[in-house]
Amino acid sequence: MLRTFISFGLALAALTPLHSAPIVYFADKFNSYLDGDLVGQGRWYQAPGLGSNLPVQVSGGQISLDRHGAGQNVRANFFGDVTISGGVIYYGFDFTVLETPVNPDFPDYFAGLAANGGIGISALLYIRQEDEGQKFSLGFSHVISEENTFGAELLLGVPYRVIVRYHNVPGDFNDTTDVFVSPVASPFSADENSLVPYLTDGYFSEGNFPEFNEFTGIGFRQADPLAAAVVTGIDNVIVGNEYAVVVPEPATALVLVGGGALLLMRRSRK
């Protein structure tokens, strides 16, 4: 994959307001990683206080989540270690489910947005067993204690891309989220307004913990066989401020968030 980075000077940055451009908070295609443990490569680290006897693996430029043993929670902070609060935040990645959780009633989350320096996790995605393990569905919750909302059945062994559009509304118990899913072989439309959500969820239950209002990164979780799925082909992980940022397309101009100068990146899909 060819990437060309062009540094902006201060004068150009002054002429190009940050809020007017698509912003990449984080992006990873795992291309330069060695096969083996993910933690310790790139920006990835193990979540504080969460041990592991089965590290998340990277192989061939993709990561996978197994489900044998205690598992592992991994996090990657946003570029520049920035904290994002308020507004709309998008995250997306490719994935393939090979096996569903053994227990269809208590699925565990496998991805989400990190908060509180990686200790907290929110905007969570789940995988649930359907059709006696022959199919699966994706679910979402704003926090771990919230009841999950699930969408329609999906097929095992098919590479999908999921995009989460999270509306971080000021205050508590009021965030809303749309989740979009499409096979990788059938890319998302460039027109966000034409999309039909796979599922929509609102967080209005004051019986739960309040949702997080600040995000610091993205995370994945590898858990035990009863609650976790076997997921491979996790790739093209992107977090940003606009829909266009998280839809991998050739030659898309993006502004990367980080310390120092702004960067214009032209990226192409594998």
Q: Per-residue confidence of the chain (270 residues) as pLDDT tens digits?
A: 434 333 333 333 333 334 458 999 999 999 999 999 999 999 999 987 666 668 899 999 999 998 766 678 999 999 999 999 889 999 999 999 999 998 888 888 999 999 877 678 889 999 999 998 899 999 998 887 677 899 999 999 999 999 999 998 887 778 889 999 999 999 999 999 999 999 999 876 656 676 788 899 999 998 877 888 999 999 999 999 999 999 986 534 455 565 433 333 334 344
Handedness of CA 238, 241, 246, 250 (dihedral sign): negative
CB 255 within 8 A of CB 7: no
Report how far residue 241's alpha carbon sits from residue 113's, in angstroms, rounded to the nearest whole number.
Answer: 13
pLDDT of amino acid 48: 76
Per CATH, the number for 28-245 is 2.60.120.200
pLDDT of amino acid 1: 40
Report how far residue 31's alpha carbon sits from residue 34's, in angstroms, rounded to the nearest whole number.
Answer: 9
Using CA atoms in the order 142, 163, 257, 82, what is the torsion angle rounded to 10 degrees? 10
Q: Does the global pTM surpass 0.75?
A: yes
pLDDT of amino acid 11: 33
Burial class (CB in 10 A: 0-12, 13-18, 19+), 213: middle
pLDDT of amino acid 179: 97
pLDDT of amino acid 259: 44
- Digit-coded pLDDT (tens) for 74-109: 999 999 999 998 899 999 999 999 999 988 888 889
